[in-house]
Amino acid sequence: MKPFNTGHEELVHDVAYDFYGRRIATCSSDTTVKVFDRNDSTGEWDISDSWKAHDASIIKVCWANPEFGKVLATCSHDSTIKIWEENIREKQNSGKRWKRVATITDHKGPIYDLAFSPSHCGLKLASISTDGQFKIHEALDPNAISSWTNIFETNTLSSAPSRQLQSSFCLSWGKSRFSKEYVVACALEQSYIYQRQENGKYTQTGQLPAHGSIIRDISWAPSIGRGYQLIATACKDGLVRIFKIEEPLTESGQLQVSLINQFDDHKGDVWRVSWNLTGTILSSAGDDGRVRLWKSTYNKEFQCVGIVSAEQKHDAIED
Amino acid sequence: MFSAPPATINGADNYISPDPLTAREFGEAEMETILDGDDTELPEITLPGAPIPEGQVEEWQKSRNMGFVMDPVIARGIAWFDAKPGQDGHATKEDRTLYPTTTRVGDEWSDNYKGFVAEAFATTLGPQAAEDLTQRFADFIESIKHYREEIRKDVDIVEAEPLDDAYSIALCIYAVYFHNGAAGQSGFFGSQSTYEVRQPLVEWVNVSEQQPSVELGKEVMSQTPPVQHKDFWKYIYQLVCRGMLKQASHCLHNSGAGEVDPSCQETLEQTIDILSRYPQGPGNVSFYFRQWHNSISTVQSKLLKINDAKIQKGLTTLLQVLAGDEDAIMGTNHTWYDALVTQQQYVDPCDSRMKGYYDAAVANYPVDTFTVWEAGASHAIKGSLLLAIETLENCDSVIAALVSNMCYDAGLLNGYGAANPAALPDYHLTNLALQCIGYDNLINVGIEVLQKLRDVAPARQILSLLLPRLPYDSAREIDWAIKKCKQNGLVEVEAEILQTLAQKAIHNNNNLMGLCMFAKNGNIAALRYHCWKLFKNALVAESPVEGDKSLADYVKDPASVSDVPAEVAECIAPYAVLTEYFNLRRSGQLVKSSEYLLALFEFPLLPTEYLGLLIHQLINYVSPISQQFNFSTSQFMTLLSAFDKWDKSQGTPAFEQGEELIKDMVDHSSDQNDWRKTFKIHELVMSELRLARTSVATMSSLKGLGGR
């Protein structure tokens, strides 16, 4: 595994794997999106296409489930979300291979995060902007991805955040096809879990306990055989937190949320958390220049099982 | 490696196997504690191309942070740098770079080990695994042995230590619980009528710790005469205790004792004879064993005739050991395991006596709990099988998983007080499966392991996450995936896979295959959508879809392609008509082609956004000057109605989309001098509409006049 230059001219803000882990999309302050394909024979990443996608920094990029085709979504400081579909009739690296099929313009501020729902929930796209507006759009006909309808919106902030202070907004969908449809949205230090009701409306059905500072990232774990679900957060207060979410017994009940682990090993801000396929290993990246890998033990406590360090060490084992 | 179960408080009998899936949570009281890790104990790797200079993390973190995302299938991920808020500045080369890495830190399996895992799976869980549990365990032991021999060629002893420990513990469990068909029958310490444990027990000790050493043997036997070597009798005792009776006989025969003291010759020969007549079995050797013991006492009575004191003492002790004298056995051995196997061989080899021998052995020689294989084997022998498996897991989680599974199959995990004895093997197998599916070439093994779980819920959930993410490139692979879905009742997952495969086929320009999959999956909406998309693409390109021979063959002659659902035939009709139109036009059959074009206007469900493109095509046929196109009155009416519909749609999304498509069509033209490129799209659309309307109205009038 070798590092490779993305070709972006500015900072890379996000990297997203496709559903199979065979492709990645990157986005940058240079207003472009790039898609790379993994070369199975060399293991290297080959650029497939690059194009100018927005008029300002692109903050996040995400892939739709392949059930809906080769579809990407991007969000930007320009307050728009754009949906892109790959057209294989266009040549690779032509800059035309990804065609914009829709633009969502109903956010009023820079958009910090977005994510497609798991496919069993339909073709939905959740997004959150710096004014705290959390929205869910849906392609009512999943085949016609050019048409998106706003099906839910709520303000997660009582007042706009001060421009002088750092802010952060993030979200994550519940992954389990065996439970109800959930999505969690974070605005500054708060995070709210929304559940889709049988009438199709979304209601707040839980809240993570307040964090000591702004939440940089949140990730809902895939669920395997657990009678509960897990959510991990990366926080500016230096903690990686793992919460246990239990579904209420009654239809109207609130989710039971409890903190099961918190770790301060990064000794500084934590920026990203990400689960593996089965929700058994959590990665966290922090200010110590390290990626820490957390694994659930037999007694369901998480513990750090390994570190990937970005700091050069002459006596370390290079992968 | 996966963690071990929590230690027991009062020994194995009080151990309640925690069910990782359903039992109450452990350690709730400590949940709020901030767990402060100590990195010095953790395995660490450096990111390939690590971008932060050594010792510069503090400087780096002033302006940069690190992002990381895990691969959704395989155990790897990608790291990158981003800016701290307000620190964007100039992006360096490091900022513009991505850093792929493995996420297996400290537990990366070598290719050799992956091979072992695949073989061990086949031996114990695969379709070819032996029916008989003892045979299955024996085959598994062979797999470990084979792998152990392989890696000993490549790695030093220290690296192989955990495997050696695991091999020893597995071998001990086999000896105690699975020997010679005992699995699940003789239970914990064997029955009073079986005499089978001694041989595998001796083998276990010999594999775990090789004694006597080859060097000692060479040294002793190279002295002349060997019997006068200071360690001669120690060597003989070790051979006898380790069950190497032939070797002991050989050494006694060549000891030179007869030359040193001719008075010992007869006793020596009789002792050698006794060694050769040790009742090995199989079967119930109780009677023969008593006879053999009696013959020892006959020889013992002649010991006093030996003049040489050392030889006399040596043979006396040897015969005492063979006669099962506990003091002699404890005196000649120095470890609990040697004392155990010596008793098992020479006191009374009945399997049911083993626990007593073990107790006596550890009373004289305590177990060294810091030696992993000793600790694990000791747990196994004294009946704490769960602790033995736990120790085994610390050495090798794969071996632990497969052993615990066979123990469960043999009924050996019942009786530990656990509500669900299957929880432990299921936990181990789940972990094994999860580890396997992190490797490309072991995904199949992982999935097969999941199929062996007694609790199907986690297997279903893992499969529901995993199966849709596997790339299926052949019909065989697709059939396999569908079969797995059906086996596990994953109806939605099956539909998702078919839907994804259909999308993939469409994406790869295998349109007919994709459409058929949509139809078979019952997704008629997707079928309709993609048929109209084919229609649109052809209209925009002003040509049938290229590069899809199956589709071309099918629209040309539907009977030529088999197994196409009727729904596909129905939905593909507009595209088929359009294709025929283009083909006829290309071959110069304008009049005939016009009939197909007009037929398209007559499709009742034709989306409005395509009207502009069809009108554009129509322009070629509606010149009032030309008399060759003889439209009927109803066709004129259809066209005029279509024009009205298109005109009225102005300001609607359909009209905008239609304009966009016409723009795409014009852009798509490779002719740089294409006259259409000189128009603004809206002007082009409106002028074509006016022209078509005027021309059709004129033609209609002329036809009317002519008719009069």
Band of residue B623 on the pLDDT scale cut at 50, 70, 90: low
Give the range among A119-123, B123-127, B285-289 with minimum mean pLDDT.
Answer: B285-289
- If you average pLDDT over residues B520-529, what whole number do you get? 90
Residue B98 DSSP SS3? strand
Task: Please report the pLDDT score of residue B28 as a whole number.
Answer: 26
- Considering CB atoms only, which of A45, A144, A276 is closest to B75? A276
Which residues are CB-neighbours of A53 under 8 A, at least 6 positions away?
A: A27, A31, A32, A33, A74, A76, A82, A84, A100
Give the range among A232-246, B181-195, B274-288 with minimum mean pLDDT.
Answer: B181-195
DSSP state of B42: S
Last residue of a domain, one of B334, B362, B385: B334
CA distance B81 to chain A (A): 7
- Considering CB atoms only, which of A11, A289, A304 is closest to B95? A11
Name the token pair of B235: 């060597």
CB-based contact B213:B183 (threshold 8 Å): no
* Domain ranges, ordered by start, for chain A: 1-155
Which residues in chain B are contacts of A9 at CB distance < 8 A?
91, 96
* Same-domain check for residues B219 and B324: yes
d(CA A175, CA B534): 33
Which residues in chain B are contacts of A259 at CB distance < 8 A?
31-32
Task: Please report the pLDDT score of residue A135 as a whole number.
Answer: 98
Does B548 reside within a domain? Answer: yes
Instruction: Report the amino acid identity of residue B293.
Output: H
CA distance A205 to chain B (A): 23
Task: Determine phi and psi for B511, rounding to 5 degrees.
Answer: -65, -45
Full residue range of the structural domain in which residue B255 is found = 213-334
Q: Which residue of B has its CA nearest to A43?
A: B100
Cβ separation A275–B61 shorter than 8 A: no
CA distance B57 to chain A (A): 6
- Considering CB atoms only, which of B74, B427, B506 is closest to A298? B427
d(CA B425, CA B411): 12
Which residues are CB-neighbours of B362 under 8 A, at least 6 positions away?
A: B336, B378
**Please, which contacts does B215-224 make with residues 24 or more away whose CB atoms are closer than 8 Å?**
B217/B251, B220/B251, B221/B251, B221/B254, B224/B256
Give the range among B213-222, B323-332, B614-623 with minimum mean pLDDT.
Answer: B614-623
d(CA B699, CA B691): 12
Cβ separation A291–B66 shorter than 8 A: yes
pLDDT tens digits for range B443-456:
889 999 998 999 88
Q: Which residue of B has its CA nearest to A20?
A: B469
* Same-domain check for residues B598 and B526: no
Cβ separation B504–A66 shorter than 8 A: yes
Cβ separation B67–A22 shorter than 8 A: no
Cβ separation A276–B103 shorter than 8 A: yes
Which residues in chain B are contacts of A24 at CB distance < 8 A?
78, 98
Task: Please report the pLDDT score of residue B197 as a whole number.
Answer: 84
- If you average pLDDT over residues B296-314, what whole number do you get? 90
- Considering CB atoms only, which of B74, B462, B496 is closest to A21? B74
CA distance A270 to chain B (A): 9
Does B446 reside within a domain? Answer: no
Name the token pair of A228: 């509960």
Measured in whole angstroms, the distance separating CA B553 from the mean position of its chain's CA atoms is: 42
d(CA B363, CA B330): 10
Does B633 reside within a domain? Answer: yes
- If you average pLDDT over residues B400-415, what whole number do you get? 91
pLDDT tens digits for range A223-239:
876 778 999 999 999 99
CB-based contact A74:A61 (threshold 8 Å): yes
- Considering CB atoms only, which of A280, A291, A313 is closest to B434? A280
Task: Please report the pLDDT score of residue B39 as a whole number.
Answer: 59
Which residues are CB-neighbours of A179 under 8 A, at least 6 positions away?
A: A223, A229, A247
Cβ separation A289–B57 shorter than 8 A: yes
* Same-domain check for residues B222 and B318: yes
Task: Please report the pLDDT score of residue A304 as a whole number.
Answer: 92
Higher pLDDT, B417 or A184: A184
Does B22 reside within a domain? Answer: no
Instruction: Report the amino acid identity of residue B89.
Output: G
Which residues in chain A are contacts of B459 at CB distance < 8 A?
225
pTM comes to 0.75
User: Phi/psi zone of residue B327: left (φ > 0), alpha (ψ -120 to 50 degrees), beta?
Assistant: alpha
- Considering CB atoms only, which of A10, A20, A65 is closest to B91? A10
Q: Which residue of B has its CA nearest to A86?
A: B507
- Considering CB atoms only, which of B53, B72, B105 is closest to A307? B105
DSSP state of B181: G
Last residue of a domain, one of B571, B588, B605: B588
- Considering CB atoms only, which of B39, B465, B503 is closest to A278? B465
- Considering CB atoms only, which of B54, B438, B459 is closest to A311? B54
Q: Which residue of A has its CA nearest to B49?
A: A3
For residue B510, give the nearest of B486, B483, B478, B470 by alpha carbon.
B478
- H or E stretch including A282? strand A281-286
CB-based contact A64:A82 (threshold 8 Å): no
- If you average pLDDT over residues B388-414, what whole number do you get? 92
Residue B477 DSSP SS3? helix
DSSP state of B207: H
Q: Which residue of B has its CA nearest to A178?
A: B461
Cβ separation A289–B52 shorter than 8 A: yes
Q: Which residue of B has its CA nearest to A294?
A: B103
d(CA B600, CA B480): 42
Band of residue B220 on the pLDDT scale cut at 50, 70, 90: very high
- If you average pLDDT over residues B56-66, what whole number do you get? 93
Cβ separation A277–B464 shorter than 8 A: no
pLDDT tens digits for range B469-486:
887 878 888 888 999 999
* Same-domain check for residues B499 and B602: no
Which residues are CB-neighbours of B613 under 8 A, at least 6 positions away?
A: B536, B539, B540, B658, B661, B662, B665
pLDDT tens digits for range B676-696:
767 777 777 777 778 878 877
Blockwise average pLDDT, block size 10, chain A, 319 residues: 94 95 96 95 94 97 93 97 91 94 95 96 96 94 88 90 82 90 95 93 93 95 83 97 87 85 95 92 96 83 92 64
Q: Which residue of A has its CA nearest to B87?
A: A11
Cβ separation A291–B68 shorter than 8 A: yes
Task: Determine phi and psi for A280, rounding to 5 degrees.
Answer: -105, -20
pLDDT tens digits for range B600-610:
988 878 899 99
Which residues are CB-neighbours of B328 under 8 A, at least 6 positions away?
A: B317, B320, B321
Per DSSP (E only), the strands in B376-474 are none
Task: Please report the pLDDT score of residue A286 as a whole number.
Answer: 96
Task: Please report the pLDDT score of residue B690 as a whole number.
Answer: 80
Beta carbon pairs, A and B, within 8 Å: 337
- Considering CB atoms only, which of B31, B37, B465 is closest to A277? B465
CA distance B345 to chain A (A): 40
Higher pLDDT, B38 or B33: B38
pLDDT tens digits for range B565-588:
999 999 999 999 999 999 998 898
CB-based contact B538:B511 (threshold 8 Å): no
DSSP state of A211: P
DSSP state of B175: I
Cβ separation A11–B18 shorter than 8 A: no
CA atoms within 13 A on the CB side of B225: 15
Instruction: Please report, rounded to a whole number, the percentage of residues in chain B having pLDDT higher than 70.
Output: 88
CA distance B365 to chain A (A): 33
Q: Which one of B91-100, B635-644, B652-661, B665-674 scores highest in mean pLDDT? A: B91-100
Cβ separation B82–A306 shorter than 8 A: no
**Please, which contacts does B6-9 make with residues 24 or more away whose CB atoms are closer than 8 Å?**
B6/A298, B6/A299, B7/B390, B8/B384, B8/B386, B8/B387
Task: Please report the pLDDT score of residue B20 as a whole number.
Answer: 32
Residue to mutate among B69, B159, B404, B664, with most A CBs inside 10 A, is B69
Residue to mutate among B1, B24, B45, with most A CBs inside 10 A, is B45
- Considering CB atoms only, which of A21, A259, A306 is closest to B42? A306
Pairing of strands A124-129, A12-17: unpaired
Band of residue B153 on the pLDDT scale cut at 50, 70, 90: confident
pLDDT at residue B185 tops 60: no
For residue B231, give the nearest of B166, B111, B314 by alpha carbon.
B314
Higher pLDDT, B671 or B103: B103
pLDDT at residue B629 tops 70: no
Task: Please report the pLDDT score of residue B32 as a whole number.
Answer: 32
How high does pLDDT run on average in chain B? 84
* Same-domain check for residues B218 and B260: yes
CA distance B55 to chain A (A): 8
Which residues in chain A are contacts of B63 at CB distance < 8 A?
none
Task: Please report the pLDDT score of residue B184 as a whole number.
Answer: 53
Give the range among A109-118, B98-107, B265-274 with minimum mean pLDDT.
Answer: B98-107
pLDDT at residue B422 tops 60: yes
Cβ separation A120–B30 shorter than 8 A: no
- If you average pLDDT over residues B655-672, what whole number do you get? 81
Name the token pair of A309: 């360090």
Task: Please report the pLDDT score of residue B68 as a whole number.
Answer: 97
Band of residue B17 on the pLDDT scale cut at 50, 70, 90: very low
Query: Which residues, in sequence order, are bridge partners of residue B64?
Result: B83
User: Phi/psi zone of residue B417: left (φ > 0), alpha (ψ -120 to 50 degrees), beta?
Assistant: left
CATH number assigned to the domain covering A1-155: 2.130.10.10
ipTM: 0.96
Which residues in chain A are contacts of B499 at CB distance < 8 A?
67
Task: Please report the pLDDT score of residue B136 as a whole number.
Answer: 93
Cβ separation A291–B468 shorter than 8 A: no
Name the domain count of chain B. 4
Which residues in chain A are contacts of B72 at CB distance < 8 A?
17-21, 277
- Considering CB atoms only, which of B48, B437, B462 is closest to A318? B48
Last residue of a domain, one of B102, B129, B150: B102
d(CA A49, CA A91): 9
